[in-house]
Every structure is written in C-alpha cells, then in structure tokens.
Amino acid sequence: MSHRALRKSFEPSPLDSAAQKRDLDILQIVEDAVQHREVRLAFQPIVQAQQQDQVAFYEGLIRVTDPTGRIIPAGQFITQIEERESGRLLDCLALEHGLRTLARNPGVRLAINLSARSIGYPKWRKVLDRGLARDPTAASRLILEITEASAMLVPELVVQAMRALQKQGISFALDDFGAGYTALRYLREFQFDILKIDGQFIRGIATDSDNQVLTRAIIAIAQQFDMFTIAEFVESAPDAQALGQLGVDFLQGYYFGAPSMKPPWQT
C-alpha cells in the first residue's frame, strides 16, 4: 500500500467528521448551560412492586436544553462531561435542585444521581451542607445514586464518604448493577441501601428464563447484604408482574411514567 493510500485509510470519513463535530457542539452547549445554571430536574416515579399504584419515591434526573429548547439526552454527553470540571458542577446543580425540591415538598422522597468523582468535591459538599442546614429533614428523604462503573473508579473514597453521610440519614443506591464489574468484596464493603438492577436484565423478563434466573440471583445477593432492589426500565405489565413475583422491592420505567419536568405530585 502506498503512503498516500495508507494516509487516506486513516482519514475520517465525512460522516465521522460530522458526528465528531456534533459531539463537540453538544458538549459545548452542555458546558455553557452548566456555567449559566440553565439546567432542570425531570422526575420519574418509582413504585412499590407489591402495590404498583403506590409511588415510593421519585428519581430527579438532570436535564440540559440546547438554545432551541430541545432537551439533550444525557447519553449524548454524560460520559465526556463526567471527566471534566463541568461534570462536578453539574452534580452540584443536580443536588441543589434536589434539596430545594425536598425543602418545598416535605412529603416527597427523592433520588439524585452523583458521580463518584464528585463525592469528595468541596463545592458539592458545601451544597449538601447548606441544603441540610436549611432543612434537616431532607437528609432522611434524600437518596444519592452512584453508578456501578463510577463507584469502582474510587471504591475506597466512596466507602468512606458513604459511611459519613449515612450517619446523617442519607441513603445510597448502586445504579446500573450488572452493567459493570463490581467485585463482590466491594459490594459487601460499600453497604449500599438500594441496588438498582440494570435494564438489560429487565426488558422482556416475563418471557426470558435466563434473565429471570439472573435477576433472582441478584435479589438474593441484595437481601443477603440488607439492600432493597429496584428494577429499572420496566416497560410492560407482564414484566412488572413477573418482577413482583420474583421479589423485587420497587419498579421504575416508562410503564409507570416517563420523566416529567412537571412534578408528578402536583398533578
């Protein structure tokens, strides 16, 4: 192969270049939105598996909009922004909005996402301390969600921070369990309060015997370590029924409601 042909084989195609530019544009929009605090929470219900008409609590999902008002899906930027300073600031804003929501709604319990990289971030801790000083009851109604992949980046830091915050009444959920590679010894040391089963095991579980076996095993692990379980991405009545029969504690997914900018408890 000639040098010219070799060089050409490594050149990005027009489609690749367009995709790369789009990703950079989205990242810049998100960076600007964070700097100007132009983010909001969308709320999704989490229901009791044995009483599926009863909402146990809500997850507050951070939302960023582009200049046209279109919501940018988190999947398009969250991986890149997690490694930046703006990722820490985004976690601060999510927590700030969450604590304000809890203060205004004493009957609401709320889960907020958090990167393990932010748990030792001084600004994030200031937001938490300030919010709990305004409303001490918020601690017992706040759940902090950390993804399995994120927790495994700095497990010792996560364990230490969790111990201190759990003493204040805050609960912790391990998100996307099964999607990563959590060592079982760390699962024991973490002492999460809630384990969220990744959606890959949940979709279509009513007719998938393999995922039924795997989910039953995950439930057994959670029960051994005194954790509640949440099934993510529940999208049909048969799946919801099957999960209740398997012994999952809580259910979350579009079958029960999509994330809504308007707080569902106000409808």
Q: Tell me: the pLDDT tens digits for 222-251?
A: 999 999 999 999 999 999 999 999 999 999
Q: Is the pLDDT of residue 3 over 80?
A: no
Average pLDDT, stretch 31-37?
87
CA–CA–CA angle 59, 36, 97 (5° rounding): 25
> DSSP letter string over 129-176?
HHHHHH-GGGGGGEEEEEEHHHHTTSHHHHHHHHHHHHTTT-EEEEEE
Higher local confidence (pLDDT), 46 or 5:
46
What is the spatial distance between Cα 219 and Cα 179, in angstroms, rounded to a whole number?
A: 15
| pLDDT at residue number 263 | 93
CA distance linking residue 225 with residue 214, whole number of Å: 17
> Which DSSP helix (H) or strand (E) runs through 88?
helix 85-104
Is 34 a residue whose pLDDT tops 80? yes
Q: What are phi and psi of 38, to 5 degrees?
A: -95, 65
Residue 185 sits in a domain whose CATH number is 3.20.20.450
Give the three-state DSSP class for 35. helix
On the question of pLDDT at 94 being above 80, the answer is: yes
Q: What is the mean pLDDT of the chain?
A: 89
Residue 144 has pLDDT above 80, yes or no: yes
Other beta carbons less than 10 A from residue 176's beta carbon: 20
**What is the reported pLDDT for 72?**
82
The larger pLDDT score, comparing residue 26 to residue 15, is at: 26
In this prediction, residues 78-93 reach a mean pLDDT of 87
Tokens (6 digits) for 118: 């932010």
Domains identified in the chain, total number? 1
What H or E segment, with its residue span, contains residue 40? strand 39-48
Q: What is the pLDDT of residue 7?
A: 59
How large is the average pLDDT for residues 36-43?
A: 90
Q: How confident is the model at residue 22 (pLDDT cuts 50, 70, 90)?
A: low
**Greater pLDDT, 132 or 74:** 132
Rounded CA gap, 172 and 215, in Å?
Answer: 20
Burial state string for 114-139 with b = 16 or more CB within 10 A and e = fewer than 16: bbbbbbebeebbebbeebbeeeeebb
Which of 65, 13, 76 is CA-nearest to residue 34? 65
Write down the pTM of the prediction.
Answer: 0.89
- What's the pLDDT score for residue 81? 84
Q: Give the residue-averaged pLDDT of 63-91.
A: 83
Is the model more confident about 96 or about 150? 96
Angle of helix 14-35 versus helix 85-104 axis, rounded to 10: 50
pLDDT 10s digits, 177-225: 987 666 677 888 899 999 999 999 999 999 999 999 999 999 999 999 9
Domain ranges, residue 108: 3-266
